[in-house]
Structure 1
Amino acid sequence: MSELKPAVVLGIDTPIGLAIIRDLGSRGVAVTGIGRHAGALGMSSRYLHQGLLRASGEAALVAQLRALGRQLGPACLFAISESDIALLNRHRASLSGFALMFADEARMTSVLNKEQTYAAAARVGIRVPRTEQPTCMADVLALAGVLRFPVVLKWANPNDIAATLADAGLALDKTHYCDSAGELAAYLQPYEQVGIYPLVQEYCAGYGLGQFILMHNGQAHYTFQHRRVHEWPPEGGFSSMCESLPVDAHQGQMAHSIALLRELNWEGVAMVEYRHDPVTDTSALMEINGRFWGSLPLAYHAGAAFPWHMYCLFGMGEPIDQQAYRSGLRCRFIIPETKRLLRILFQQHAIADRTLAFRRLPELAGFLADFVRPQTRYYVFEWRDPMPLLADLGQMVVTIGRRLLYQGRRA
């Protein structure tokens, strides 16, 4: 391979950005990370070449990146969050000095808009849960008479309506469960004032199955998959512990996932997320994440080097090494995992999905046993790079201390 280009990672405040730093930096790439504050998670990584504070405001951030591009020369630009990707796509032409490691605006729209995603899924034969889009309370009341409960509410395109809901003082819940027609009507009634309603989707039993694919020119260049062992909140949200699955598991579903991304003319990395029912051995599509996903640390620890593969394929124009990854590896996001345990031990009444049942003592025993399980890894901690965890713990101690001091003064 020719001389490695430097890389810039916008958004090193999360375990996703930290995993990208580690994956690239450990392979000799000079990584510049941009975080919102000096205590950003990735700032303390041994693999970070240079850490910068993010400029305030859209115009200032773009100017900061352009100046950085002139300083570095040809470089690869990674972005983590959907909001940052949308921001950078608005200025894509002015960032031509970078090789951009994220999808363009049209492709991002095709996966952020669930109606477009579900239509494409139907065309390639992927099961989609029954999903209805009410436009008024009359629709809601009509649906309440025919739907099978429980149902799950989610927004078709949350980025587009976030500001409208915020202005009206309305919640933008990623998901919300309703167990009866009365609960559905009561929850949606406040949204009548803005005339915007979330999708109403049939409940799908099972566990979260994630299939991760690097696409280029209609071909899948690397694949990986995991199952969600635990989620926060327990009824479903994001993964607090996940486990890598063998490459030969769910092969038929992987073929469907690749076909779906090909149907969307996708370029780059994507996570195709399903709810898989082991009783019926069927999977229902939930969504596509058209970016580096929250459980990327598992892929990193397992040897599925998506940031590096993306860098090689799109940044350097080089073929990627089809190195096998480790299956059976678990990765824990310890703070959400602890919150999940506490919810199960002391607040089971607050778990929205009432079809779920948890046994307290086995959950506690499993939580402790995973600390000594040889195949357990962590979203933040890594023996070769311990400082991000130590710095994060230090920040937590300072934050808690300030909060206690403030409460003491008020008392």
Structure 2
Amino acid sequence: MQLVRKIKRKPSTERRRKVLALCGDSQVGLWMLRSLAQNGLTVYAVCKSSEGQAAHSRYCSGAWALDQGDDAATPAEQVVRLAKELEVGSVMPISEAFHASLIQIRDQLEPEIHLFSPSAESFEKATDKEYLHNLCLELGVPVAKGMRLDKLIASGHDTLKFPLVLRTCRQNSDEGQAPWKAAYARDAAELQRLCDEVRDCPQNVIVQEYHSGVEDHVHMLMHRGDLFMVGEYIGEYHSPLAGGVTVQRVSCYHERVVKDAVRLLQTLGWDGVATCQFHYDIETDEYIFLEINPRMCGGQPTVIMAGFHSPFLLWQSHFEPEKMRKTGYRKGLRTRILGGSANWMLAMIRGDELPPDQQRLSTFGTLMRFLWNSGPWTKDDSFSIRDPKPFFIDLKQMFIKRIMKRRDYRPIDLS
């Protein structure tokens, strides 16, 4: 691994209080690092590049970037080697891919170095959308009617009602993946076009009837078989507009949704953090289950700023469970990714595809909405008055991406 930034700060002498955080380059990893370090832990960061936001945080005790060379060891092997060199007490991943790879070599770390990843069995079930679809039917959790794409093709397109939404069943499978996070078919012609795009892996695509509503994310810490604390938020805007990541969120709480999320994780035997995703119709108070993200959520900044320090509580759940304390969770807190929000604005003005039930804003309405959300009532995902540098790193990368795109170069994804 390449050393990105070494901070001359005296590390903790207790091995258990030293954490290797696999932060990536985004604001999600930045807030994981902040949550751990602000609570007295020594945190080392692993980023994708030298521009990783966590690497430039005042709370970072040292940062490394993965070696991307052809002869480099696998990312998981690099992490194991670095964790041993730093003599940390634990490794905390963010990405699903890191969880998947490190779970396979857990014995190279534990028991000396604790890995904050779920069991292989729980992880496998939580990342299989077809399994979860059937589990919802068994438990009585609301879920859209659906099936695997290969089964739909065999049974006939009239088995399900349009519009339909298509997603990859298992992200970590060798069976191939869809080229989109989510895609929509409003009629048979659009469905056929999408079938052509995934003709090599229809068995790894799930098709479900589309239900209106907003994305509702329930981020939970499960401890010893029960819910310890929850942080819920609604995704207001996404980039891309159809099936993208949430770039603006607002914290909330819906008791019925949370109860069903807990039932699902308890059935999986889950221990640690996970995020259950639903479609929630604000007008009717109805909802359906979508998927489980077996990791820190994309809305981690919202959740932590609202009062749920899930990364630190996760650390405590293993090393000092007797000191775990629940805190208040602020509802109505709005946060956004500045670059992602700008991309949402541009996509809305361009006329990019929207989900079937959403209405396009006018150009003037889009600009006004973006400007209104630039006020102090909307928090930035990266900015902190006590730790400002990561925000300016993110701002610089946003402008670099935009300039490269305008020059017709292929942009480099540093998120």
How far apart are the structure 1 equivalents of 2:406 and 2:346?
A: 22
Structure 1 pair 284/7, CA: closer, same or farther in 2 (3 Å)? same
Residue-by-residue CA offset, 1:78-107 (whole Å, 9 max, x unaligned): 111111111111110011121211212211
Residue-by-residue CA offset, 1:143-183 (whole Å, 9 max, x unaligned): 32242111101111132146x45xxxxx5211110110121
* CA RMSD across the alignment: 2.5
Corresponding residue for 1:140? Answer: 153
Structure 1 pair 406/242, CA: closer, same or farther in 2 (3 Å)? closer
Structure whose residues are more often helix by fraction:
1
The answer to whether residue 187 in structure 2 is matched with residue 183 in structure 1 is: no
Residue-by-residue CA offset, 1:90-148 (whole Å, 9 max, x unaligned): 11001112121121221111110012212222232211100121327xx4274322421
| TM-score between the two structures when normalised by the length of structure 2 | 0.87
Corresponding residue for 1:318? Answer: 322
How far apart are the structure 2 equivalents of 1:114 and 1:399?
A: 33
Aligned with 1:368 (options 367, 371, 374)? 371
Structure 1 pair 204/29, CA: closer, same or farther in 2 (3 Å)? same
Corresponding residue for 1:80? Answer: 94
Secondary structure at 1:172's aligned position in 2?
coil
Structure 1 pair 383/93, CA: closer, same or farther in 2 (3 Å)? same
For 1:368, give the aligned amino acid: L
How far apart are the structure 2 equivalents of 1:116 and 1:405?
A: 45
Corresponding residue for 2:115? Answer: 100
Secondary structure at 2:194's aligned position in 1?
helix
Residue-by-residue CA offset, 1:335-360 (whole Å, 9 max, x unaligned): 1211111222232xx32434321332
Secondary structure at 1:265's aligned position in 2?
coil
Aligned with 1:121 (options 116, 136, 159)? 136
The answer to whether residue 21 in structure 2 is matched with residue 13 in structure 1 is: no
Residues 24-63 of structure 1: pairs in structure 2 closer than 5 A: 24-56=36-68, 59=73, 61-63=75-77
Q: Gapped runs of 5+ residues in structure 2?
A: 1-12, 410-415
Aligned with 1:337 (options 323, 341, 356)? 341
Asked if structure 2 preserves the Cα contact closer than 8 Å seen for 1:76 and 1:100, the reply is yes
Corresponding residue for 2:162? Answer: 149
Aligned with 2:379 (options 377, 380, 393)? 377
How far apart are the structure 2 equivalents of 1:82 and 1:255?
A: 24
Secondary structure at 1:49's aligned position in 2?
coil
In the comparison of the two structures, how many residue pairs are matched?
392
Corresponding residue for 1:235? Answer: 242
For 2:368, give the aligned amino acid: A
Shift, 1:319, TM fit: 3.6
For 2:317, give the aligned amino acid: L
Residues 185-264 of structure 1: pairs in structure 2 closer than 5 A: 185-193=192-200, 196=203, 198-245=205-252, 249-264=253-268
**Once the two structures are aligned, what percentage of the paired residues are identical?**
24
Asked if structure 2 preserves the Cα contact closer than 8 Å seen for 1:141 and 1:185, the reply is no
Residue-by-residue CA offset, 1:23-50 (whole Å, 9 max, x unaligned): 1112221100011222222110011011
The worse-fitting range, judged by mean Cα deviation, of 206-215 and 316-325 is: 316-325
Structure 1 pair 281/52, CA: closer, same or farther in 2 (3 Å)? same
Structure 1 pair 44/193, CA: closer, same or farther in 2 (3 Å)? closer
Corresponding residue for 2:5? Answer: none
Residue-by-residue CA offset, 1:262-309 (whole Å, 9 max, x unaligned): 011001001111001123211100001110011101112112100011
How far apart are the structure 2 equivalents of 1:41 and 1:71?
A: 23
Shift, 1:225, TM fit: 0.8
Structure 1 pair 400/363, CA: closer, same or farther in 2 (3 Å)? closer
Shift, 1:405, TM fit: 8.0
